[in-house]
Chains A and B, each alone.
Chain A
Amino acid sequence: MTSTSSAGRVPAGLLDTEAIRKDFPVLDRLVHDGKKLVYLDNAATSQKPRQVLDTLNEYYERHNANVHRGVHVLAEEATALYEGARDKVAAFINAPSRDEVIFTKNASESLNLVANMLGWADEPYRVDSDTEIVITEMEHHSNIVPWQLLSQRTGAKLKWFGLTDDGRLDLSDIEQIITEKTKIVSFVLVSNILGTVNPVEAIVRRAQDVGALVLIDASQAAPHMVLDVQALGADFVAFTGHKMLGPTGIGVLWGRQELLEDLPPFLGGGEMIETVSMHSSTYAPAPHKFEAGTPPIAQAVGLGAAVDYLSAIGMDRIAAHEHALTEYAVGRLLEVPSLRIIGPTTAEDRGAAISFTLGDIHPHDVGQVLDEQGIAVRVGHHCARPVCLRYGIPATTRASFYLYSTPAEVDALVEGLEQVRNFFG
């Protein structure tokens, strides 16, 4: 352990962040006339290690070609790299089969893909006016709007779990919400705004009892903890690459193989077909059935490198680091006068994204004054406006940590907030 903290006891279980940070060139940046960058916006996107950047460069400099088409050497190399990335992701999430890993452009596309599969599906999966869709009040807009669209287009009823005052799902009426009519339950594993880690088992068990499918949005989980799709027991799991050290433009949808065989494609085009005539077509088996057109090849290869990087450190160690840091950060933030954490106020069942309000100072003003000190946080409703409505606030400031974050950065945030209070107080 090399990180030091001036203001509090250094928590146990931290990673060697000094060594890790050497892999992330951007973390050395100075901003606003020489201020050290303190990057606490990891829930929005992570920074990228040199290993990922080098992989992207090398792909374009040495192997670039379209995949699954040519017979020349570059096409074969590009295909092997792209499909190799699929193998790496499949291993990373403990998928029973590599063919269950569909590459998309981001988690939103993964979630929309499932909504569209179900809208066009035959029985028993079909979502129609006699059926119900279940989500939660703490979803990112990307796991709300696709279901509103599906509900509007099919007449299916959209229902959701509410939230408790301390930022957790209210499952007290689970039997009224998930019923025999429910076709799909879609919920977030770790909330991007509240930080809450949700109780998967209770929801999956109820869904399975009534024969509903389960989709888990793991966008804020895959980067931070061991993600084992078999242990989760869900039918689909969606996440994105850029929050887990990978490039933008690459996402993942994992789905159980028999479902992927049964469900219809959504986007049509090259690569997803078996044969095409002017009258009709037959489709390639999954995952290609769901990957129409030239995929994000370099981005998938970059995600593979990110998965290698994370796995070499160990997702369990990363989770332990973030847990220790979150515990420290929650404690220090609660010392700041007039600061209110929106979400769980302990580190239990909690991820490393911490939202808060500071008196009646608007988050935009908080973020701007922090930025002047080199501290990057996210402000606004975090694409989860219903959560802000639920807690009666217009917006929050959110600090979110990752494997390279340090207690010293938590201290910088706390000192920065003191300056905000002095400025607007």
Chain B
Amino acid sequence: MYQEVILDHYKHPHGRGLRDGQAEVHHVNPTCGDEITLRVRMDGSVIGDVSYEGQGCSISQASASVLNDLLVGKDLAEAQKIQETFLELMQSKGRIEPDDAMEEVLEDAVAFAGVSKYPARVKCALLSWMAWKDATAQALSEPSGSADASGGKTA
């Protein structure tokens, strides 16, 4: 399950650190203590930034890095489609072998296909994605321009 791509993202995470955003969430995986604090900045209907800080296993941290790669700069509708495709893959219990169409959508995230065989680890892979979904919903319900309460410090 530890594909080279996953280890690369784990050792060299992309977009890590907290930056400005309209909403911030903190999600935990109580079974293993993985934690992530994630902020979303929407520029109209485009995802301007997804910034995060966290601690946890290689799967949870690499997944957040892949998420940042995949979603930043995308239109919200497209990002939601990516999120749903990733969710489908992770809930497949190893039964989905990603095809070219899926790889087109998920790019590096197809490396997580093997993780779906391990029920205890699926939550690790999904942690940042669920946090993103939650933060995005909050960002969209905020009046536009409202600043994040914690001031958007940069880590």
Decide if A and B are genuine partners. yes
A423 with B2, Cβ < 8 A, contacts A364-B124, A380-B33 known: yes
Question: Which positions 370-420 of chain A face chain B at CB distance < 8 Å?
Answer: 379-381, 385, 388, 394-395
Residue from A363, A365, A394, A424 in contact with B35 in the complex, judged by beta carbons closer than 8 Å: A394
Chain B residues near A365 (CB-CB < 8 A)? 2, 57-59
Question: Which positions 343-365 of chain A face chain B at CB distance < 8 Å?
Answer: 362-365
B1 sits at the interface (CB 8 A) = yes
Bitwise, B45-87 to A at CB < 8 A (1) or not (0) is 0000000000111110000000000000000000000000000
A368 with B1, Cβ < 8 A, contacts A362-B57, A394-B55, A394-B56 known: yes
Chain B residues near A381 (CB-CB < 8 A)? 32-33
Chain B residues near A363 (CB-CB < 8 A)? 32, 57
Complex Cα distance, B119 from A262, in Å, reads 47
B31 sits at the interface (CB 8 A) = yes
Q: How many residues of B contact A (CB 8 A)?
A: 16
B27 sits at the interface (CB 8 A) = no
The answer to whether B35 touches A364 (Cβ under 8 A) is: no
Q: Which of B2, B33, B58 gathers the greatest number of chain A CB atoms within 10 Å? A: B33
B121 sits at the interface (CB 8 A) = yes
CB distance from A143 to the nearest CB of B (A): 18
Q: In the complex, what residue of chain B is closest to A394 when comparing beta carbons?
A: B33
Chain A residues near B55 (CB-CB < 8 A)? 362, 394
A424 with B33, Cβ < 8 A, contacts A364-B121, A368-B121 known: no
Complex Cα distance, B7 from A246, in Å, reads 41
CB distance from A343 to the nearest CB of B (A): 18
Question: Which positions 11-52 of chain B face chain A at CB distance < 8 Å?
Answer: 31-35
Secondary structure of the A contact surface, majority rule: helix
The answer to whether B33 touches A395 (Cβ under 8 A) is: yes
The answer to whether A424 touches B32 (Cβ under 8 A) is: no
Chain A residues near B2 (CB-CB < 8 A)? 365, 368-369, 423
CB distance from A203 to the nearest CB of B (A): 29
Chain B residues near A395 (CB-CB < 8 A)? 32-33
Complex Cα distance, B6 from A423, in Å, reads 12
The answer to whether A424 touches B31 (Cβ under 8 A) is: no
Complex Cα distance, B120 from A364, in Å, reads 10
The answer to whether A379 touches B121 (Cβ under 8 A) is: no
A380 with B35, Cβ < 8 A, contacts A362-B56, A364-B57, A364-B124 known: no
Complex Cα distance, B31 from A144, in Å, reads 18
Q: In the complex, what residue of chain B is closest to A364 when comparing beta carbons?
A: B57
Complex Cα distance, B118 from A379, in Å, reads 15
Chain A residues near B1 (CB-CB < 8 A)? 368
Complex Cα distance, B121 from A264, in Å, reads 44
Complex Cα distance, B1 from A406, in Å, reads 30
The answer to whether A424 touches B56 (Cβ under 8 A) is: no
User: Which 6 residue pairs of A and B lie closest in terms of their CB atoms, listed nearest first?
Assistant: A364-B57, A362-B57, A394-B33, A395-B33, A380-B32, A365-B58
List chain A positions with a Cβ less than 8 A from chain B. Answer: 362-365, 368-369, 379-381, 385, 388, 394-395, 423-424
List chain B positions with a Cβ less than 8 A from chain A. Answer: 1-2, 7, 31-35, 55-59, 118, 121, 124
Q: Can you report 19 residue pairs joining A to B where beta carbons are below 8 Å apart?
A: A362-B55, A362-B57, A363-B32, A363-B57, A364-B56, A364-B121, A365-B59, A368-B1, A368-B2, A369-B2, A380-B32, A381-B32, A381-B33, A388-B33, A394-B33, A394-B35, A394-B55, A394-B56, A424-B7
